[in-house]
Amino acid sequence: MPTTNLITPEKMFESLVAKNSNFIDHKPTVDVVINIYGKPWNTAVTLFSLLKYSGQWIDKIYFITERKQPHDSNFDFITLALGNKIVPYTPGFWLWVRPFRNKLVFSLPGFRKSVRYQFGWEQTDKNFLFVTHNDVLYTGDIIGSMLHGVGNNIGIGPVGQCWNCSANFAGLCSPDRYTEYKPGYNELINLLKQYPGSRQKDYGKLPKKNRHWPLPECRLNEWTALINMKIARKATMPVGKAIPFGAFYELDIATRWFSDVLNMGHTVSNFDISPYAQHAWAGNLRSGHAALFDVDEYTYSEKTAKAYLENEYSKMSA
């Protein structure tokens, strides 16, 4: 995997700064946290494209590399290019996407800081934390737009995994209506039977009689989201009671956090990222997670990202 064969990474970053004087003219108000498992070229595109369009808002980038990495992945060329913007961290434990069923484990600092994004969450001193997957292509100033739209919400980003949701199949709910559709427990159980979702077999004991809203597939999708830390820090462990944002607890990453904070009375603003970002853009499957289990898809995605980055750099250097 790449180490030094990216064309002069220091000059690439210098070119980004030269093309975007706001890097140094604007006081940064946001830190970024990115969780990395493989995909060095996709990771580079994610961060360089984000800095290209939203660099004026960004101070530190919490660069979290999982303890285990596939395909001998090496990210030195990225950290070399971005220098002191990077705060590197390798968690003590490799949690992968294993679900946990006992929230007491999150009271252990070493374990909790191994949860996806949590190190950046606890380290940042900014009022806003931008969360991103490492396979996103940014095409516009998403952070600026999210800062404008977040208001008093606890976060902003694409809401819901509606493609799996019975309520969406029935036309009763959508990302913009998730606070409006609040079915009773029996109504929801009947809905699940009438319109079975594609992941319903994974629900286990969800929904619960005393906690059946928001719906199981509802979450703030963590591939691209802005967290309002002024609110979220107080609500979320280790300060508050909500499960850590990046924890796979119950159905998926961030589903329990979303449920916890909504039941505290907080809200999340739904945000259409399509004018600003493309997730899993470089592969054929359009699924970043699936690419990790398909060598051909992984290789294709990385080659696509490498070619894109080198082409963009040649434009900046011209």
**Band of residue 1 on the pLDDT scale cut at 50, 70, 90:** very low
What is the pLDDT, as a whole number, of residue 4? 40
Least confident of 10-19, 196-205, 223-232, 309-318: 10-19
Least confident of 144-153, 248-257, 285-294: 285-294
What is the pLDDT, as a whole number, of residue 10? 53
What is the pLDDT, as a whole number, of residue 19? 55
Highest mean pLDDT, choosing among 2-6, 70-74, 80-84, 213-217: 213-217
What is the pLDDT, as a whole number, of residue 234? 98
The answer to whether residue 290 scores a pLDDT higher than 70 is: no
Average pLDDT score over residue span 146-173: 96
The answer to whether residue 194 scores a pLDDT higher than 80 is: yes
Domains of the chain: 9-159+219-317 (3.90.550.10), 160-218 (no CATH)
The answer to whether residue 16 scores a pLDDT higher than 70 is: no
What is the pLDDT, as a whole number, of residue 15? 63
Least confident of 12-26, 33-47, 281-295: 12-26
**Band of residue 2 on the pLDDT scale cut at 50, 70, 90:** very low
Tokens of 117: 């994004």
What mean pLDDT is reported for the chain? 89
Give the torsion through C-alpha atoms of 284, 287, 289, 290, to 10 deg: -50
Per residue, the 3-state secondary structure of the chain, as one string, reads CCCCCCCCHHHHHHHHHHHCCHHHHCCCCEEEEEEECCCHHHHHHHHHHHHHHHHHHEEEEEEEECCCCHHHCCCHHHHHHHHHHEEEECCCCCCCCCCECCHHHHHCHHHHCCCCCHHHHHHCCCCEEEEECCCEEECCCHHHHHHHHHCCCCEEECECCHHHCHHHHCCCCCCCCCCCCCCCHHHHHHHHHHCCCCCHHHCCCCCECCECCCCCCCCECCCEEEEEHHHHHHHECCCCCECCCCCEECCEECHHHHHHHHHCCCCEEECCCCCCEEECCCCCCCCHHHHCCCHHHHHHHHHHHHHHHHHHHHHHHC
**Is the CB of residue 164 less than 8 Å from the CB of residue 217?**
yes
Average pLDDT score over residue span 145-155: 97
What is the pLDDT, as a whole number, of residue 205? 83
**Band of residue 21 on the pLDDT scale cut at 50, 70, 90:** very low
Average pLDDT score over residue span 126-144: 97
Other residues' Cβ atoms within 10 Å of the Cβ of residue 87: 18
Among 186, 249, 256, residue whose Cα is nearest residue 218: 256
Pick the residue with more confidence: 3 or 11?
11
The answer to whether residue 318 scores a pLDDT higher than 70 is: no
pLDDT tens digits for 60-101? 999 999 999 998 899 999 999 898 999 999 999 988 777 777
pLDDT tens digits for 33-64? 999 999 999 999 999 999 999 999 999 999 99
**Is the CB of residue 85 less than 8 Å from the CB of residue 33?**
no
